[in-house]
Each structure stands twice: as C-alpha cells, then as structure tokens.
Structure 1
Amino acid sequence: MSQRTAEYQQLLEDVPCNICGRNNFKIIYPAQYDLAKTDKIHEGFRSSGDETLIDQMVECNYCGLQYLTPRLRQDIIIEAYSSGSDEGFISQAKGRERTFAKSLKSIEKYVPPSKILDVGTAGGSFLKAAKDRGWNVSGCEPNRWLAEWGKKNYGIDIHSGTIFDMELDHDSFNVVTLWDVLEHVPDPQKVLKECSRVLKDNGLLLINYPDINSLVARMMGKKWVFLLSVHLYYFTPKTITKLLEKCGYEVVKITKHWQTLELDYILFRMKPYIPFIPELFRRFFKLINCGHLLIPYWMGQTLVLARKI
C-alpha cells in the first residue's frame, strides 16, 4: 500500500445503501486510491468539479442503488463544498438561466408562480429565472462564495448553508427543486424527507440527476462524463422512484433534461475524455468568435417531477 493510499483511506467511512439500509453489494468499479490528491480534496468539490471517479462504486444487491462506499467522511464533504471560489461555474450563468426558464414553463403547467425553494442553488441562476417569472423565491447554497455571488449579482437573498440550517416552517412552499444536487449529498433520504416537511400538501418536487442507466452512460461506461468522485450516488428511474416513494412522494413524470452551456465550456469539459481534439476545436471556435455560442446538450441528465402525498 502506498503512502498516498494510506493517507486517503484514513479519511473514508463505510456507508450502507441509502434506500434499504443494507450493506450487501457487488462492486461495479474498484477503488483507485493511488490517484487520490489528499492535499487538494477541497478543489474537487467545486460546483464545476470534474475529478474522475477514484472511490469504490457498488450496487446494492437488494434494491439496485449504485453508490460510493467507502467514501470521504461527511464532515469533510460538507466543509469541502462550503469553501473555495468557482469562477468557472458562474461563467455559464447565462446558459443556465436559459435552461431554467424552459424548466419553469414546465413547472407552471402544474403550479402557477408561488413560493419556491431551490436547494443547492449554487450562484442562484434558477432563482433569478424564477423571480423574473413572478415566483416568490428562496434558496440555500453551502458554498459561501457562490451564495455571496448570487446575492451581489442577482440581488437575491441566498442562505449560505444547507436546507437544515434554514429552520424553515412546515408546509411553507409550493415547489422545491434540487438541480444537480441529490447525487452530491451524503444522505439523500434525509434531504428528501426535509423537503417533504417544508412542502405543502400536494406540493411539487423537481430533481435533476445524471441517469447511470441512460443510453449514453451505458455506451461510455467508465468514460461517462458524470462518473465523478463528487457524485456519491448514481440513480436510475427505478431507484429514484423507490427512494422518492420511501420518502412520501409519488412520481408524476420522468423525462430527459437538456441543459445549455457555452460551446467553449463544453469542449473544455471534454478534455479529460478526448485528449487534444477538444483543445483544437476550442482554438478554432475562438478564432471565428463562436466560443460563446450557447449549445443545448444531453449526456444522460434526467428530470423527475414528484408530488408530496
């Protein structure tokens, strides 16, 4: 065992399946602890973090949930998300606002503009899009820098912390959203139950997550762009439905979720998977002044609409 592996393993803890609570699993991908950067752990937990998977990934033999175990301790994860800046993430704010404006149109087919809570709002792009459409918005974000950026640039009061720190009243929101959040949290079941507590009866919950059973994920295998060490859980429509039902929801709809980012940013994020080629294209598109083009893309992102019952 190398010194790097030994140092990293001291930071880990074993966790059971978040749906059924069992510790009976098969290994999908073995750990690669020799690749761990123990001195740069916090850098991997930025919203734009793209550290490839090094932790052991398993699948529960009872309910099929795929997750990481052992993994970094919960206190390390929470502190890592709270610290640091993320200029790369907020550089794509305009594309995210466009994506969220389309998503809000879908939400408004079920609920007119009213009280909405965005959990893990990052820089607040969703809250900005919702406020522009007449919603009464609230949000929380553990990263202090991102929360402050949202306050300054959008004029929105974003709570710096988690949903549990907000001490919200029961039955206080018509809609709660988690955009690219649930796969990151140490205890999804606990978060979903808190969302249910603050939702009004028949209130709506929206979750966006990367589907590990999507065609693109199955085709790319270990090269899938969302196979990251910061993603603690890997859901499918089947497992996300099981988890939601366990937490007091009924699933209304599951569909693909197209997101919009700048062309240059998409090519930049492709570099670890297709060496050299993305950089050549980045230079070319910058030369012809097309790097900032907003491009819709889909790599397995999935949107779930559920109702509190």
Structure 2
Amino acid sequence: MTLAGMIISGLVVLVVLLDVLRLRSRAAGLRVLAPGAGEHALLTATGVRPRGSWETDDDLVDLVPPDLPVVAALDLLGAVDPARYRDDRWARGVSAAQAVLVREEYREDVDPDDPTEFVAFVRRVKDHVHARAGIAVAPGLEAGPHDLGYRAATLRQLGKRPSLWIAGSVIGYATVVAALVLDWRSGLVALAAYWAHPLLVFAGTPLRPRDLWVPRPLRTPFLWFATAGGRKSTAERRQARHLEQAAPWYEQNRGRDFHEDRRETCPSCGGSDLRRWVTATDLVQRKPGTFTMDRCVRCGHVWQNPRLSEEGLGFYYRDFYDGLGETSAEAVFSGKTEPYYGRARMVEPFTTPRRWLDVGSGHAHFCLGAKEVLPATVFDGLDQGAAIEDAARLGRIERAYRGSFKDFAGELRGRYDVISMHHYLEHVRDPWEELDIAADVLPDGGYLLIELPDPEWRLGRLFGRYWMPWFQPQHQHMMPIGNLESALAERGLTTVATERAKAHLCNDFTLALLLFLGNVAPRTPAPWRPERVRLRRTRSFLVWSLGIPAFFVAVALDQTVNRFLARRTGTGNAYRLLARKTSS
C-alpha cells in the first residue's frame, strides 16, 4: 500500500462520514404528517399523486413525498435543517417542489411544471412575520417525475452556484479515482464509502428515495452534464425579458462619465493634504467605470473623489437592491443575524424605546432582529427603495416611509426615542446634512445609533480595492470614529457608548477572495455588460474549482489572523456609536 493512497482514501472516508452525519440528522428531523382533513388548499406539481389527505396547524407546510428522488432529497437536505425550520424566522423558505398545503389567505397560483416557482412561493409565505411555515413528509404522497433540466435553476433559487456545485462534485469524484489509482486496495474502501453515501443518509429515516439503488459513481457524471445544461426557470425568463427592456436605457447611458469635478480640499475638515487611497471598479455588478477614494492626511476622512453625480448614483444603484438584484440583496441581508441583535443590545442599558426609526432600512432585517431583543418597541423604517414597502407588508415594521430622510423630516420630528443609521451614512452624498436632520428630528434625551465601516481597519489598506467595505462606487464617505464623535458633539449629541471589536465581522479574507474570483471569472451578460464571454461556463468552472481550496484557507485566516487582530487592537472592520441628544 502506498502512503499517499491511504491518506487520500482516509480523507474520502472522513468527508463522506461527516456529510452523512450532517444530512442524516436533518433527514431524521423531518416531521411525518398524520392523516386527516383540514381547510388548507393543496397545490401539487405535475405528476404528483396525493393518495390521501393530511392535517396541519401551520399556515403552510411543504409536503415531501417519502419516495422523493435521491438528487432532489439531497438538494433539499443541503438547503434546510427541518428541525429548526419552523421556528427559525431567519431560515429562508425552501420546497421539495412536489406539493404544498396552504391556508387560503396565503394561496397563490404556482406553475406546476416549474419547481423553482414552488420554492419562491414558499419563501414569500415564510417571509411573513406572522405566518408559520413548515416542512414534513406526507405518507401516501407519490413523487412526480424529477426534471433535472430545472436543477441548475433550482440551485440558483436556493442561493447556490451550479458551477460551484459541479466543481466540488468533480473534485470529490476525482479524489476517489486518485485513491484507486494510487492504491487499489485502500481505494476500494474510498469507493465503497462514496458509493454508500446516499444509502447511509436515508437508512432509518422517513425518506425512501425510489432511485436509491442507482449506483452513485454512475449517476454523478450524468448529473454534471444535466446540471450544466439546464434550462431557465419561469422567473429567470421573466428576468431575461426585464433585461431586454432595460437594455436601451443602459445602452444610452453606458460609457458616460458621471463624475463631478474633483475636490482639492477635505469635505470634513477642509484640509488640502490629500492622498490617493483606493482605485477600484464596480466588483459586484461589474458596471463600467473607475473610481478613486482619497484620504485626508489631517483628519483621516476617506471619500470618493471625484464623487458621482446624483444621476450617476442612480445609474449604479439601479437593479442592485431592487429589480434585478432584489433576490441577491435579500439573501445577503438575511444571512448574518448577530449584528442585528448586537445593535439592539447596545441601546438596552440606556433606554427602553417606545418607538424606533431605522433610516436606510432596506428590507428591514435589522428591525426584524431587534424586535426579538426589544419586543415592546415599535419599529418603523425609512428607505428610498421599494423594499421598505414590502417590509411593512411582511410585518417587519409597523410603518414604511419611502423617500429621503430630508423629505420626511418635518413629519418625523419628536416622534422617535431612537433613530438608527446602520451602514447608511457612507452611502449618502452629504453625511453631515443627514446628521443635522437626525439632530433636529430627535427629541431632547433621544438617542442616535450609528454603525459604519471603519476606514482605520488595517486590512482595508492591505486588501485595497478587494476590501469589501470600500464598495465602490456606492460608498461615498468613510468616517473615522473620532470624526463622527466630533460632528455629533457640534450638533448637541453626546457620545455615550462605542463598540469597535464587537461590531467586527470576521470575513475580510473570505469576501476579498470572493470579489477576486468574481472579477476573474466571466459573468452572465447584463444590459450594462452585453458582450458574451467565450467559453464562459468552462472558464467559470475552472476558476471556481481552483477557488474552492482557497476558500478553506480564507475562512481559516478569518477565524485566526482576522479574529486575533480584532482582539489585539480592539478595533475591526466596522464600529458602532450611540449618542444622546442633550440640547435642542
């Protein structure tokens, strides 16, 4: 036996067993519905045969057939932990795309031939604060045909990259082959573990996939090609039409220079000793243009110079938080919940607010989390995007104000005990005007809570344009915490608490790698990027395949080096500041 073959075989067995344990615990956590009749409507996909009826107290329950095919069952378990799903308001809605029981008040028409429509429908219902959505096995329900042509679209709907899944699967398959080549005896052990994976996952659970005995080594290569060549979902076809309709507008504005004249003095302190700090492109949407951020040597303020005009900001914000980018934005903001709790807890020692206004609230995820910490507080939200109105409809906030803070200043004056601005001031053209408005709107004794990226964080300089918080071209101003304290004091607001290391998120290495790979890998065409990249899928597959090991390294660096730096310095990539209004 060769040492290399034994090591590789051991790694294969270890990875398989860990994944089996994870997925088995999830499969075992699936509820099994009791037979019965209720007032719920039953929606089914084409070919699904409901042999019986079931009852539930949930507003919606996604029904999982016991004979759900292996690929669909594994994709489902990879996306959801059923034991936590019902009570976890942050868990995104998922579906086996077979059948759904739903109360009439939440019922919608769903395309029975498109599995992604079931996922989107369940997600919309689960997003309602007062709706309870579950997932359960329905005995007697027979699964319909599993159309692998929609698998890539379903993975995208679940927030996964099909090319990344293919790359990971190919690496795993190649590792088993390498084990066999290096040492056939230990390689057979690796092959047996790889082959037995689905059998071990589903044994003794409520699921009995009808194709469970199809050999995994034969199924997997076929699945690569089926996933890579998948067709678009109904929503993606709808998005493609939106792209076509938006193309003339983007074509008309593409290539325009939206920059204003360059400033020769710092907008914060008036200093004239400036240093070029960051030169970047749009690394997220890949819209055209180059952007520069300068730093004032005297006060440390960092800002976009020359800055974009209001028309330019409209160009770069379009289809980011709303429109084409709404789904992606929703996924990002629902991913990390601890900062929402941390912000609310920062206020607890000083006041129990009756009413709280969150400015720049977006989808109001902060308000959703803060309500868990402060259940007696009424939260309202203000934002210029359409998402704020959706947030009110879903029950995340009581009232939505759609527009600028300045537009509503008179109406809001004296109504709120706390006003918050989380990652808002860096987006505005004049943060000092926003502070003026906040100081005017707050009553005496009211509190202003602000969270901002910290331009003094040392990794920001190290990573350059790939440090996510520079976020060009959207971020206009990056204020050091001392500058913000001084600006608030000038407006009658006294700083009562600050948090730096506590506001830090250990993700700088990972996000920098994500931006780098996204910059290297070709993207799908868009109205502002109409050219088609040759061999796009092949290049994307190669880039992300090579990137998978790098992600493990980046995560390890974030959990070690990044965390150590934050603890050692007491700073981080963001900071929070709470100030109290002491004078009118």
Same structural fold, with TM-score higher than 0.5 when normalized by the shorter chain: yes
- Distance in 2, matches of 1:237 and 1:104, equals 19
- By how many angstroms is 1:180 displaced? 0.7
Work out whether 1:102 is the aligned partner of 2:342.
yes
CA contact (8 A) 1:96 1:125 kept: no
Alpha-carbon separation, structure 2, partners of 1:49 and 1:305: 33
How do 1:1-309 residues align onto structure 2 when only pairs under 5 Å count? 7-14=255-262, 17-20=266-269, 22=270, 24-29=272-277, 54-77=290-313, 81=317, 84-85=322-323, 86-132=326-372, 133-144=375-386, 146-156=387-397, 157-166=399-408, 167-229=410-472, 230-256=474-500, 257-258=502-503, 270-273=513-516, 276=543, 279-280=547-548, 300-309=573-582
**Aligned-pair CA distance for 1:137:** 1.4
Q: Give the SS at the match of 2:291.
A: coil
Q: Deviation of residue 71 (structure 1)?
A: 1.3
Q: Structure 1 residue 60: deviation in Å?
A: 3.1
Tell me: CA distance 1:65–1:155, structure 2 relative to 1, closer, same or farther (3 Å): closer
Task: Provide the aligned length of Structure 1 versus Structure 2.
Answer: 276
Q: Is the 8 A contact 1:27 1:56 kept in 2?
A: no
Aligned CA RMSD, in angstroms, stands at 3.6
Q: Secondary structure of the residue that 1:243 maps to in structure 2?
A: helix
Structure number with higher strand proportion = 1
Using the TM superposition, name which of 204-213 and 76-85 deviates more: 76-85
Q: CA 1:243 to 1:118, structure 2 compared with 1: closer, same or farther past 3 Å?
A: same
Residues 1:106 and 1:142: Cα distance change in structure 2 (over 3 Å) = same
- Mark the CA change 1:152 to 1:97 in structure 2 (over 3 Å): closer, same or farther: farther
**Distance 1:213-1:224 versus aligned 2 partners, 3 A rule:** same
Q: Larger RCO: Structure 1 or Structure 2 (Cα < 8 Å, ≥ 6 residues apart)?
A: 1
Aligned residues of 1:249 and 1:308 also touching (Cα < 8 A):
yes
On the 8 A contact 2:383/2:404 being kept in 1, the answer is yes
Structure (1/2) with the larger helix percentage: 2
Stretch deviating more after TM superposition (116-125 or 22-31): 22-31
Tell me the distance in 2 between the aligned counterparts of 1:64 and 1:225.
19
Structure 1 runs not aligned, ≥5 long: 1-5, 37-43, 285-295
Please give the alpha-carbon distance, in whole angstroms, between the structure 1 residues aligned to 2:258 and 2:315: 17
Alpha-carbon spacing, 1:30–1:254, altered in 2? closer, same or farther (3 Å): closer
Read off the aligned partner of 1:217 and give its amino acid letter: G
Cα gap change, 1:104 to 1:31, in 2 (>3 Å): closer
TM-score (normalizing by structure 1): 0.74
Cα deviation code 1:6-48 (max 9, x no counterpart): 954354344563333x37241323756xx57xxxxxxx8xxx8
Distance 2:403 2:329 in 1: 18
Report the secondary structure of 2:455's partner residue.
Answer: coil
8 A Cα contact 2:510 2:551, kept in partner: no
SS in 1 for 2:295: strand
Partner letter of residue 475 of structure 2?
H
Q: CA deviation at 1:283?
A: 9.6
Which letter maps to 1:59?
A: R
CA distance in 1, matches of 2:288, 2:347: 33
Q: Distance in 2 between matches of 1:61 and 1:271?
A: 31
Residue 236 (structure 2) aligns with: none
Report which stretch shifted further, 192-201 or 152-161: 152-161
The 3-state SS of whatever aligns with 2:577 is strand
Instruction: For 1:273 and 1:232, locate their aligned partners in 2 and report how far apart those are by CA, in whole Å.
Output: 22
> Cα offset for 1:141?
1.0
Conserved in 1, the CA contact under 8 Å of 2:330 and 2:363? yes
Distance in 2 of aligned mates of 1:231 and 1:208: 14
Q: Distance in 1 between matches of 2:289 and 2:470?
A: 6
Q: Give the partner amino acid of 2:381.
A: G
Evaluate the alpha carbon distance shift between residue 18 and residue 245 of structure 1 in structure 2; reply closer, same or farther with a 3 A threshold. farther
d(CA) in 2 for partners of 1:138, 1:102: 19
What SS does the corresponding residue of 1:186 show, helix, strand or coil? coil
What percent of counterpart residues are identical? 20
Residue 202 of structure 1 aligns to a residue whose secondary structure is: coil
Distance 1:71 1:8, change over 3 A: farther
Task: State the distance in 1 between where 2:332 and 2:466 align.
Answer: 24
Q: d(CA) in 1 for partners of 2:349 and 2:433?
A: 28
Stretches of structure 2 that go unaligned for 5 or more consecutive residues are 1-253, 521-542, 553-561, 567-571
Q: What is the one-letter code of the residue matched to 1:137?
A: F
For residues 301 and 405 of structure 2, the distance between their equivalents in structure 1, rounded to whole angstroms, comes to 24
Distance 1:115 1:308 in 2: 16
Q: Which amino acid aligns with 1:301?
A: A
Conserved? CA contact 1:26–1:60, under 8 Å: yes
